Amino acid sequence: MAYETLLYKKREGIGYLTVNRPDKLNALNRQVMDELHDCFQAMQNDAEVRVVILTGAGEKAFVAGADVGELAALTPLEGQELSRRGHQVLDLLEDLGKPVIAAVNGYALGGGCELALACTLRIAAENARFGQPEVKLGIIPGYAGTQRLPWLVGKGRALEMILSGEPVNAQEAYRIGLVNQVVPAAELMSAAEAWARKILANAPLAIKFALEAVNQGLNMTREQGQALEAALFALCCTTTDMKEGTRAFLEKRPAKFVGK
């Protein structure tokens, strides 16, 4: 796959996706969002890719936000369309059926923070900064930041970030549950790859169903979520991997999963 604003490669079950506009601090414009959507769809349909690591080019930014030049010219109708398109792209990312690890290597602001929020796990370099500064521009988060951020950190913490527009550093992001791990910048990709390898060691269908149970369950009542969990648990019981995993445990040997 060849893109103008992204870099993509895959190796040993991992898809490496980089937003590549370092001169613009990897800001999200329409072209980036369209290319992200295309790439997410391609990875979703690629059986060779089981885990994705998403990062930004350069040393300053993961994604520093949206393209303000584009935002400044929006009509109300265009603004609604832009927001809905962002929802579509990030919903696809969240529901990819494969874990996506955000390797946050600098500023993750506005749309960049929202992009990280849609990922499965977030690993932050010590110099990372997270924020939703939209109110400073007279707007609100438009790529589901008002929805995903409270799920992760709670309503109070989310409103602190959204209403102040002020960023939080990596350690504070870890303290409030926004990120899963903070590491020195030089160790960021190796830490993300270590998480990817932990996931790759497990049954692919079980990973997919676990993601579905958690993501869909958040939008259900407890009873509905538990019904979904039971149905997906039953599906796991039909798989070759379930038979292999339980047999390997009983035989005290590593399992050899095949994704079936």
Per-residue pLDDT, 113: 98
pLDDT category of residue 69 using cuts at 50, 70 and 90: confident
Q: Choose which CATH entry (1.10.12, 1.10.510, 1.10.3470, 3.30.1380) describes domain 204-250.
A: 1.10.12
Element (H, E) at 101: strand 100-104
- Whether the predicted pLDDT of 206 surpasses 80: yes
What's the CATH class of domain 6-200?
alpha beta
- For residues 181 and 97, give the distance between their C-alpha atoms in angstroms, rounded to a whole number: 22
- For residues 148 and 127, give the distance between their C-alpha atoms in angstroms, rounded to a whole number: 23
The string of pLDDT tens digits covering residues 156-201 is: 999 999 999 999 999 999 999 999 999 999 999 999 999 999 999 9
Single out the residue of 103, 112, 85, 89 nearest to residue 39, CA to CA: 89
Residues known to be catalytic: 114, 134
Mean pLDDT of 104-119: 97
How far is CA 194 from each of CA 49, 190, 197, 201, rounded to the nearest angstrom? Answer: 16, 6, 5, 11
* Residue count (the chain): 260
Tokens coding 257 = 């999963």
For 142-231, strand residue ranges (E) read: 168-169, 181-183
Q: Where are the domains of the chain?
A: 6-200, 204-250
pLDDT category of residue 244 using cuts at 50, 70 and 90: confident
Single out the residue of 148, 65, 76 nearest to residue 108, CA to CA: 65
